[in-house]
Chain A
Amino acid sequence: MRFLLRILDRLEETLIATLIGAATVVIFVAVAHRYTTDFVVSYRNLPGAMAAYKFLAGIHLSWAQELCIYMFVWMAKFGAAYGVRTGIHVGVDVLVLQLPPKWRKGTILFGLLCGALFTGIIGTMGANFVMGLSQTDQTSPDLELPSWIVYLCIPLGSYLMCFRFLQVAYSYFRFDDLPHHDHSHVEGIEVDTAVGPTPEGVR
């Protein structure tokens, strides 16, 4: 069970990191393609320019924008689930911190269960919606993917997020253990070892 959970964790992390990386590359390639084509066109008298133009014009990247949007929507849904596990979702905690411990625990649990409720409802609505779509042969405009595959991220992402809320609520209820993302911490920056600027001229 624990092993399965760990696989799920890794899968989630790999998926969202890959999606953001891939989306960046897709858009960059599309922009680069546009400018190299323009470049080749404006220097069409150079030897080999015609061949290069024919090659470039043969590649159609009009779907890049749509693909990027879908990748980011998928990343947003699964990343939000990952965020529940790491406690990155921000809330207004000014009042909660003032409450006596017993009340605080109840309130936080209420918040977490509301999260599970909301994502559960959305997941179910999304599932119905996708079911309905899969009966049709509707496709996305540029990529011509079946729409239901594109929209599949709503039920999958929301149910995963619901599961994460329940998981966090359970471990908080049992072990008082709440994930907390430290927004003031950035990986890769070690404050203590950071060296000061030493421009020449500083004695």
Chain B
Amino acid sequence: MTTLIIFALLIALMLTGMPISIALGLTVLTFLFFLTQVPIEAVALKLFTGIENFEIMAIPFFILAGNFLTHGGVARRMINFATSMVGHWYGGLGLAGVMACALFAAISGSSPATVIAIGSILLPAMVAQGFPKRFGAGVITTSGALGILIPPSIVMVIYAVATGGSVALGPDGARVTSASVGQLFIAGVIPGLMLATLLGATTVYRAWKFDYPRLPRASWGERWKAFRECIWGLLLIFLVLGGIYRGWFTPTEAAAVSAVYAFIIAVFVYKDMGLKDVPRVLLGSASMSAMILYIITNAVLFSFLMTSEQIPQQLTAWIVDMGVNWWTFLIFVNILLLVAGNVMEASSIVLITAPILFPIAVKLGVHPVHLGILMVVNMEVGMCHPPVGLNLYVASGIAKMGITELTIAVWPWLLTMLMFLVAVTFIPEISLWLPRMLGML
């Protein structure tokens, strides 16, 4: 009953269009004022201590690093490198776009940032070469989604944070701890590469079928030159992933180091932005981070309320009583997240649903890392279809195409992504193999 009241209130408030963070907070306050005896003072403290967690601080750092990189010409050099490597195959610039997105995703933690960085340079070039606009926009919108699957990834940090505090018991009754940011990052590598390959294959097939232009083959000398030019961007991949895997840095430290590194290469090495642009980048990153941190603060309040009302435990018991097995549950999770992806953006969805889904999934024997990767892939799909797919809006801004037209344009790749989602759901080893091989699980 309480569960119903809480969620009805939350959904009613959200539908008025108020910020999600406010809707979450007001739900908690209303509930605490009228329906329980939890001391209100605990709430004020939670507002501060909720984000007093060093892991969360990776988010502002990754956003800052991403903004320096988007401004900093790293993307252009990565596109040049990708073009020289695969531009002569079917798909030409389109295939190079998929590869460039995958490379950029490995240094940026957000999908829209990837779409902007790669798309704003590549799309005009593709149109100039005679590709239909639809094709280019479809490739970039969907490949840009790799940004949150290939580490680093802001959504993965949010998942780790959202599930970090919850008490979950495995099928045998033993306590299961949630996935760490490092584990999730490493687990994202294989699915990321797989999805990039699949999207690339779709691109090649479509380009072959409609006979789109290809580029002349670049010589090894040219490839080497393009590689040398983008080496500074590529080094960041090894710095972040290698650093976290080898234990040089915690994920948050890695994020801070990559922010400083990105600043140095943007301003001093590539010289694509001047020192006078720095305050603006700082301000933009700060306000974006503050928005996400504010949602997190209120989502922490919300999950505090749910925990004190024992809602995840009740739901778990209920699901287990119904005799649902793990894969039926995961199908349900997929549907829920895809529907939620229609109305909310990724970080809010993960923050609200992960604390509820996590204990149930663990009880049914799903590995926390597997659930995390599954949620991330769902978020990717959500970003690529209307009405709130952020990538779609970003791409429509760049390509100057209407949302409806773009929706039709993305479907071949979206279909590929949905098939990949099914694979990730039913084959846990896609997510778990690499971290297990490296001894991280």
**Residues of A in contact with B (beta carbons under 8 Å apart):** 13, 16-21, 23-25, 27-28, 30-31, 65, 68-69, 72-73, 75-80, 82-83, 86, 88-96, 107-108, 110-112, 114-115, 117-119, 121-122, 125-126, 128-129, 151, 153-154, 182-189, 191-192, 194-203
Determine whether B57 belongs to the interface, using a CB cutoff of 8 Å to chain A.
yes
- Which B residues are in CB contact (< 8 Å) with A117? 26
| A-contacting residues, B383-428, CB 8 Å | 387-388, 390, 393-394, 396-398
- Which A residues are in CB contact (< 8 Å) with B278? 21
| Contact, CB under 8 Å: A90 / B19 | yes
- Which B residues are in CB contact (< 8 Å) with A20? 60, 64, 282, 285-286, 289
- Which A residues are in CB contact (< 8 Å) with B87? 199, 202
| Contact, CB under 8 Å: A201 / B280 | no
Determine whether B231 belongs to the interface, using a CB cutoff of 8 Å to chain A.
no
| Contact, CB under 8 Å: A191 / B218 | no
Other-chain contact of A186, B70, B96, B124 (Cβ < 8 Å)? B70
- Which B residues are in CB contact (< 8 Å) with A128? 41, 44
Other-chain contact of A91, B20, B123, B257 (Cβ < 8 Å)? B20
Bound Cα distance from A183 to B398, whole angstroms = 12
Number of B residues near A (Cβ < 8 Å) is 99
Determine whether B216 belongs to the interface, using a CB cutoff of 8 Å to chain A.
yes
Contacts A118-B22, A189-B71 supplied; 17 other A-B pairs, CB < 8 Å: A24-B64, A24-B259, A69-B54, A72-B56, A73-B51, A80-B290, A80-B293, A90-B20, A95-B16, A118-B25, A118-B29, A122-B25, A128-B44, A154-B48, A188-B71, A191-B123, A196-B129
| Contact, CB under 8 Å: B120 / A96 | no
- Which B residues are in CB contact (< 8 Å) with A202? 83, 87, 215-216
- Which B residues are in CB contact (< 8 Å) with A21? 278, 282
Q: Shortest Cβ distance from A81 into chain B, in angstroms?
A: 8
| Contact, CB under 8 Å: B291 / A94 | no
Other-chain contact of A24, B15, B225, B256 (Cβ < 8 Å)? B256
Question: Could you list 7 examples of A-B contacts with CB < 8 Å?
Answer: A16-B283, A17-B286, A73-B52, A91-B19, A96-B17, A111-B19, A188-B281
Bound Cα distance from A76 to B287, whole angstroms = 8
Given A91-B23, A202-B216: A186 and B16 within 8 A (CB)? no
| Contact, CB under 8 Å: B41 / A83 | no
| Contact, CB under 8 Å: B43 / A125 | yes
| Contact, CB under 8 Å: A201 / B222 | yes
Q: Shortest Cβ distance from A126 into chain B, in angstroms?
A: 5
| Contact, CB under 8 Å: A197 / B60 | no
Bound Cα distance from A188 to B35, whole angstroms = 50
Q: 1/0 per position for B362-398, CB-CB distance to A under 8 A?
A: 0000000000000000000000000110100110111
| Contact, CB under 8 Å: A89 / B294 | yes
| Contact, CB under 8 Å: A183 / B122 | no
Q: Shortest Cβ distance from A21 into chain B, in angstroms?
A: 5
- Which A residues are in CB contact (< 8 Å) with B219? 201
- Which A residues are in CB contact (< 8 Å) with B216? 201-203
| Contact, CB under 8 Å: B294 / A83 | yes
Given A72-B57, A118-B22: A194 and B120 within 8 A (CB)? yes
| Contact, CB under 8 Å: B291 / A114 | no
| Contact, CB under 8 Å: A200 / B218 | yes
Q: Shortest Cβ distance from B70 into chain A, in angstroms?
A: 6
Determine whether B125 belongs to the interface, using a CB cutoff of 8 Å to chain A.
yes
Bound Cα distance from A138 to B286, whole angstroms = 30
| Contact, CB under 8 Å: B80 / A197 | yes
Q: Shortest Cβ distance from A104 into chain B, in angstroms?
A: 9
Determine whether B348 belongs to the interface, using a CB cutoff of 8 Å to chain A.
yes
- Which B residues are in CB contact (< 8 Å) with A191? 120, 123-124, 397-398
Bound Cα distance from A30 to B57, whole angstroms = 15
Bound Cα distance from A21 to B115, whole angstroms = 25
| Contact, CB under 8 Å: B256 / A107 | no
Bound Cα distance from A184 to B64, whole angstroms = 17
Determine whether B232 belongs to the interface, using a CB cutoff of 8 Å to chain A.
no
| Contact, CB under 8 Å: B344 / A92 | yes
Bound Cα distance from A77 to B288, whole angstroms = 12
- Which A residues are in CB contact (< 8 Å) with B286? 16-17, 19-20, 75, 79, 82
Bound Cα distance from A158 to B305, whole angstroms = 21
- Which A residues are in CB contact (< 8 Å) with B56? 72
Q: Shortest Cβ distance from A145 into chain B, in angstroms?
A: 14
Bound Cα distance from A118 to B4, whole angstroms = 22
| Contact, CB under 8 Å: B112 / A184 | yes
- Which B residues are in CB contact (< 8 Å) with A126? 44, 47
| Contact, CB under 8 Å: A13 / B51 | no
Bound Cα distance from A147 to B402, whole angstroms = 52
| A-contacting residues, B257-303, CB 8 Å | 257, 259-260, 273, 277-291, 293-294, 297
- Which B residues are in CB contact (< 8 Å) with A112? 18
Other-chain contact of A89, B19, B54, B128 (Cβ < 8 Å)? B19
| Contact, CB under 8 Å: B289 / A75 | yes
